[in-house]
């Protein structure tokens, strides 16, 4: 079942690289925070690299001024997410999270089968806004689209 507005973010672990590979659990990321999480089908893929991540980089300071943390997640390993972040000049504070086994993606019910592209199970493209670990807004893209999960759309629709 797909996560809905009003649902708590499921408790799952993700990976990130800071001073080496770290495991981070979702309560640490979301509880006590206002956060936007956006998901991409794959690091280094065209729309993700040309439009989705760059929009959040461009508007990162606007999110931070509103007291909102920003997280990017993909069904990739942490080394790929680190390399992608470096290649895109991701600002410090925008966390690049790896969901290598798609555990988080499946827990949200937002997985898709990209086997036809040789990519296996991946995440749908989406963005969500959560306050203290509870989803307040959710924007899931239709297949092949990039509209509602853009940084601009999310900023326009944040409360306050």
Positions marked active-site: 48
Q: Which helix (H) or strand (E) holds 106?
A: helix 103-108
Q: Which of 158, 155, 82, 81 is nearest to 123 (CA)?
A: 81
Q: 65 CB contacts (<8 Å, ≥6 apart)?
A: none
Cβ atoms of residues 22 and 56 within 8 Å: no
CB atoms within 10 A of CB 40: 25
């Amino acid at each position: 079942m797909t996560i809905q507005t009003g649902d708590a973010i499921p408790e799952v672990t993700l990976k990130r690289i800071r001073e080496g590979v770290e495991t981070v659990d979702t309560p640490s990321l979301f509880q006590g925070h206002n956060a936007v999480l956006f998901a991409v089908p794959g690091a280094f893929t065209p729309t993700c690299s040309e439009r989705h991540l760059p929009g959040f980089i461009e508007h990162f300071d606007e999110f931070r001024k509103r007291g909102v943390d920003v997280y990017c997640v993909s069904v990739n390993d942490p080394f790929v997410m680190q390399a992608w972040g470096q290649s895109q000049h991701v600002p410090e504070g925008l966390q690049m999270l790896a969901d290598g086994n798609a555990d988080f993606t499946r827990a949200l019910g937002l997985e898709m089968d990209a086997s036809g592209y040789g990519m296996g199970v991946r995440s749908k493209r989406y963005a969500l806004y959560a306050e203290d670990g509870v989803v307040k807004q959710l924007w899931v893209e239709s297949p092949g689209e990039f509209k509602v999960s853009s940084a601009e759309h999310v900023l326009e629709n944040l409360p306050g």
